[in-house]
């Protein structure tokens, strides 16, 4: 019976193995058939029956899909709503009443395109679109896993990468160049042998901070282990693949992927491209991995310069010691005189004998009297005469003068090969303790181009990441085509709330298929043809009827045929992202500090569990009101206002923000001290610019919501304000009418900040 049972189990396991093998072989054979692995081809723009709403080629694809279902695009959004939408999409900030009025009153045909052009030239454009990329890259300002709320392991000058990203978007750097700099900036120039770093070298080295975003706690000796080294290497290349190619390769670490066309050999051949920089065999701890922000030659000159100054300082200290010597002896003699005479000499000998050479008697004497016999600087200063004190003071002044001539340098969080490459081996079941066959670096087989790009060592580096960059920036290759599709899809997602491929981080077999595949390929080809520059590409999308249409539409046919608005029969209503919620509040209150770049603004936990901005020690009083992108970025702990509005935890990276609707959001907006403070500031702002009290409510609406209130809204607000004034006067008999009106109006402003209209992109 037992033998028969074992046979059954064996046959079952064999059948399962054959099924798994078959699925792996099928997956391996599938890549050339899967749409996302195909090279880009120019797609013909379709003809549509009703071209009345077709402003450009994008609309032709959208209208074609709608016509198949008997649907049409919605009407254009009202100009008040449109200008607000555009400001949030391009800058992440709301427009001012004057900016809204200027656009609404401008009847010229070019008004809208001119508005887009002005906003794209704003320095705040890079902050908005740079934030999207920083999410994709998994950027944070801390080094490790960030598992303790009270411990912040910030890293020197890591924020330079954030500023590089913002500047790249503002300059509209082509995407292929942007990728190359981040993947292999150190392999693009001979920085190791440079006499002095050029601006280009600085930029390229800082750009490689893209690869320094994986959590690295190996500065702690107990975590400086080989298995942890492998984990950091794995997280780094897995995030790069997910960010740039929209694929998840983690499953292939231990075995061929059961569903995707990714083999286990692919995992380690891809990993080999990054191994020289994150080499488990020659691991560099975070402190050793950072590089000086001066060239090796310049650092040598600085060290030599400082060494000469140190010698001068040592010589001056010797002169001070000569002046102090007789007084130190006098103090010691005085203290020795307080000991019994028979043990004075032995005690003095004991304390002058090295610790490891003392006899038992000397150890005893030292333990009893060494502390009492110490000659302290204050003891010497108390008995020094005036001339000697003046001489010491002059010497100390000379030391300070010499020390001020010392030169210093800082460090960059860059990536570079830590030495000649060592073998990359396939790890059996993903275990670094069971290495298998050696594998050479290569693009994953499903995306490899024939012939492959050659890997050429250069500038003292392996050249592997530079070869990877060439693969990923070749739009004619499967890998380059996929990278373009992923990038274009995420741009579309930021403007429409959802990508053409809904699973923006999964373009594989298990991901969703594109709703408009021809449009995605046309957009991708157009992006390449336009030089892979973002701004003209955004101009093309944002001037389409698909983007311009209203988000408000009550149409039973559309709702019944396409309830999820997959075909885009109206623009999607979107809630502001967490950063834009805070930035919008600061903008309307008039408190926003628009200064750019530099060290992050610190945050801190409070005993009640909330997280707030740390106000002590800020460089300026308004630093606490800087844009949210400049707050200290942590993996798991965010300021409370951001956390409740779905600020992502960046244990790896984030390709799409979640949008939840939970009661904690309403409670925070009602009770958070920051929101209450800004509501009061908004009230002060309105009262300062509007003398007539009957205009307060209208002005508050214009500033916060970009429109004037309806008659019903005006009546509601006036009645609510009157009740607030009565309440304050009844509860506080000493409260002046003006103060009661101010408090009441602040409550109205607080209410406006709590409206859905304030928190939504129309």
Please write the tens of the pLDDT for every residue from 234-269. 999 999 999 999 999 999 999 999 888 899 999 999
Select the highest-mean-pLDDT range: 113-117, 349-353, 508-512. 113-117
pLDDT at residue 5 above 80? Answer: no
pLDDT of residue 519: 97
Number of domains the chain is built from: 2
**297 Cβ neighbours under 8 A, 6+ residues apart:** 194, 195, 196
Q: Cβ–Cβ contacts within 10 Å for residue 316, how many?
A: 18
Report the alpha-carbon distance of residue 111 to residue 104 in Å, rounded.
9
Cβ contact 205:186 at 8 Å = yes
Cβ contact 160:291 at 8 Å = no
pLDDT at residue 31 above 70? Answer: no
State the chain's mean pLDDT as an integer: 92
Domain boundary among 380, 409, 438: 409
350 in any annotated domain = yes
405 in any annotated domain = yes
3-class secondary-structure state, position 15: helix
pLDDT of residue 727: 83
pLDDT of residue 12: 59
pLDDT band at 26 (very low <50, low <70, confident <90, very high): very low
Backbone angles phi, psi at 260, to 5 degrees: -90, 155
Mean predicted confidence (pLDDT) in 470-494: 96
pLDDT tens-digit profile of 622-670?
999 999 999 999 999 999 999 999 999 999 999 999 999 999 999 999 9
pLDDT of residue 14: 57
Give, to the nearest 10 degrees, the angle between helix 226-245 and helix 124-137. Answer: 130
pLDDT at residue 30 above 60? Answer: no
376 in any annotated domain = yes
pLDDT tens-digit profile of 738-754?
888 888 999 999 999 99
pLDDT band at 474 (very low <50, low <70, confident <90, very high): very high
618 in any annotated domain = no
15-19, 41-45, 391-395, 565-569: lowest mean pLDDT where? 15-19
pLDDT at residue 455 above 50? Answer: yes
pLDDT of residue 29: 44
Q: Which carries the bigger pLDDT value, residue 232 or residue 368?
A: 232
pLDDT of residue 152: 86
533 in any annotated domain = no
Q: Cβ–Cβ contacts within 10 Å for residue 429, how many?
A: 11
pLDDT of residue 333: 86
Mean predicted confidence (pLDDT) in 571-584: 97
pLDDT of residue 453: 75
Domain boundary among 374, 409, 444: 409
Q: Which two tokens stand for residue 111?
A: 């008004």
pLDDT of residue 153: 84
pLDDT tens-digit profile of 310-348?
999 999 999 988 988 888 888 888 888 888 888 889 888
The DSSP call for residue 599 is S
Angle in degrees, CA 377, 380, 382, rounded to 5: 110
459 in any annotated domain = no
Residue 576, beta-bridge partner list: none
Select the highest-mean-pLDDT range: 17-31, 143-157, 259-273. 259-273
pLDDT tens-digit profile of 509-561?
999 999 999 999 999 999 999 999 999 999 999 999 999 999 999 999 999 99
737 in any annotated domain = yes
Domain boundary among 409, 424, 451: 409
pLDDT of residue 33: 65
Report the alpha-carbon distance of residue 62 to residue 249 in Å, rounded.
33
Cβ contact 37:447 at 8 Å = yes
Report the alpha-carbon distance of residue 206 to residue 171 in Å, rounded.
17
Cβ contact 659:646 at 8 Å = yes
Please count the CA atoms within 13 angstroms of the CA of 703 that sit on its side-chain side: 27
Q: 198 vs 171, 190, 202, CA distance in Å?
A: 19, 11, 6
Report the alpha-carbon distance of residue 328 to residue 348 in Å, rounded.
14
Report the phi/psi class of residue 28: left, alpha or beta, with left for phi > 0 and alpha for psi in -120 to 50: alpha
Q: Which two tokens stand for residue 715?
A: 């009546």
Mean predicted confidence (pLDDT) in 693-720: 94
Q: What residues make up the domain containing 698? A: 670-761
Of 186, 672, 142, the closest CA to residue 415 belongs to: 186
Mean predicted confidence (pLDDT) in 562-571: 96
pLDDT of residue 693: 87
Cβ contact 441:272 at 8 Å = yes
pLDDT at residue 691 above 90? Answer: no
Q: Where are the beta strands (DSSP E) in 150-284?
A: none
pLDDT at residue 25 above 50? Answer: no
Handedness of CA 601, 605, 609, 613 (dihedral sign): negative
pLDDT at residue 370 above 90? Answer: no
318 in any annotated domain = yes
**pTM for this predicted structure:** 0.89
């Amino acid at each position: 019976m037992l033998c028969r049972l074992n046979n059954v189990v064996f046959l079952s396991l064999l059948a399962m193995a054959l099924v798994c093998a078959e699925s792996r072989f099928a997956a391996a054979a599938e890549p050339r058939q899967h749409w996302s692995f195909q090279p880009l081809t120019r797609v013909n723009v379709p003809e549509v029956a009703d071209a009345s709403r077709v402003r450009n080629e994008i609309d032709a694809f959208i209208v074609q899909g709608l016509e198949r279902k008997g649907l049409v695009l919605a009407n254009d959004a009202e100009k008040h709503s449109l200008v607000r939408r555009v400001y949030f999409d391009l800058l992440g900030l709301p427009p001012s009443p004057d900016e809204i009025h200027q656009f609404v009153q401008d009847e010229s045909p070019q008004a809208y395109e001119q508005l887009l052009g002005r906003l794209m030239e704003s320095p705040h454009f890079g902050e908005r679109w740079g934030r999207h990329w920083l999410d994709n890259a998994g950027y944070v300002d801390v080094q490790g896993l960030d598992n303790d709320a009270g411990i912040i392991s910030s890293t020197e000058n890591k924020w330079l990468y954030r500023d590089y990203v913002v500047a790249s978007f503002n300059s509209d750097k082509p995407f292929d160049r942007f990728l190359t700099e981040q993947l292999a900036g150190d392999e693009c120039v001979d920085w190791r042998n440079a006499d002095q770093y050029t601006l280009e070298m600085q930029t390229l080295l800082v750009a490689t901070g893209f690869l320094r975003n994986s959590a690295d706690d190996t500065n702690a000796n107990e975590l400086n282990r080989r298995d942890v080294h492998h984990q950091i290497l794995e997280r780094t290349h897995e995030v790069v693949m997910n960010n740039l190619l929209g694929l998840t390769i983690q499953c292939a670490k231990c075995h061929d992927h059961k569903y995707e066309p990714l083999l286990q050999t692919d995992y380690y051949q891809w990993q080999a491209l990054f191994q020289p920089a994150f080499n488990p065999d020659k691991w560099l701890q975070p402190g050793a991995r950072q590089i000086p922000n001066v060239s090796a030659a310049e650092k040598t000159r600085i060290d030599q310069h400082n060494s000469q100054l140190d010698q001068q300082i040592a010589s001056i200290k010797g002169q001070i010691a000569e002046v102090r010597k007789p007084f130190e002896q006098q103090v010691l003699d005085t203290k020795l005189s307080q000991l019994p005479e028979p043990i004075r000499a032995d005690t003095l000998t004991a304390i002058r004998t090295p610790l490891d050479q003392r006899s038992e008697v000397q150890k005893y004497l030292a333990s009893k009297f060494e502390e009492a016999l110490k000659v302290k600087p204050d003891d010497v200063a108390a008995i020094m005469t005036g001339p000697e004190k003046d001489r010491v003071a002059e010497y100390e002044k000379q030391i300070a003068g010499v020390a001020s001539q010392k030169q210093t340098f800082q460090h960059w969080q860059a990536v570079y090969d830590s030495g000649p490459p060592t073998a990359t081996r396939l790890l059996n079941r993903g275990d670094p303790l069971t290495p298998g066959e050696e594998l050479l670096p290569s693009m994953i087989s499903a995306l490899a181009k024939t012939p492959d790009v050659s890997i050429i060592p250069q500038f003292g580096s392996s050249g592997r990441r530079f070869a990877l960059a060439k693969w990923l920036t070749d739009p004619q290759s499967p890998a380059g085509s996929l990278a373009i599709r992923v990038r274009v899809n995420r741009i579309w997602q930021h403007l429409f709330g959802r990508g053409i491929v809904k699973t923006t981080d999964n373009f594989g077999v298990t991901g969703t298929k594109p709703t408009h595949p021809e449009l995605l390929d046309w957009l991708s080809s157009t992006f390449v043809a336009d030089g892979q520059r973002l701004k003209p590409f955004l101009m093309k999308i944002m001037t389409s009827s698909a983007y311009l249409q209203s988000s408000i539409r009550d149409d039973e046919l559309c709702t019944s045929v396409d309830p999820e608005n997959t075909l885009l029969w109206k623009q999607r209503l979107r809630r502001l992202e967490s950063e834009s919620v805070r930035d919008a509040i600061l903008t309307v209150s008039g408190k926003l500090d628009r200064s750019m770049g530099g060290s992050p603004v610190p945050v801190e936990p409070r005993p009640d569990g909330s997280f707030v901005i740390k106000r002590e020690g800020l460089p300026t009083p308004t630093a606490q009101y800087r844009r949210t992108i400049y707050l200290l970025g942590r993996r798991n702990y965010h300021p409370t206002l951001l956390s409740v509005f779905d600020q992502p935890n960046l244990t790896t990276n984030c390709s799409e923000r979640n949008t939840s609707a939970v009661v904690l959001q309403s409670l925070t907006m009602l009770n958070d001290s920051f929101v209450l403070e800004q509501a009061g500031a908004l009230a002060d702002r309105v009262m300062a610019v509007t003398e007539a009290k009957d205009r307060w409510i209208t002005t508050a609406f214009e500033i916060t919501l970009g429109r004037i209130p309806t008659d019903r809204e005006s009546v509601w607000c006036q009645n609510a304000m009157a009740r607030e004034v009565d309440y304050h006067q009844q509860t506080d008999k000493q409260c002046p009418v003006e103060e009661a009106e101010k408090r009441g109006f602040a409550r109205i402003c607080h209410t406006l900040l709590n409206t859905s209209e304030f928190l939504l992109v129309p």
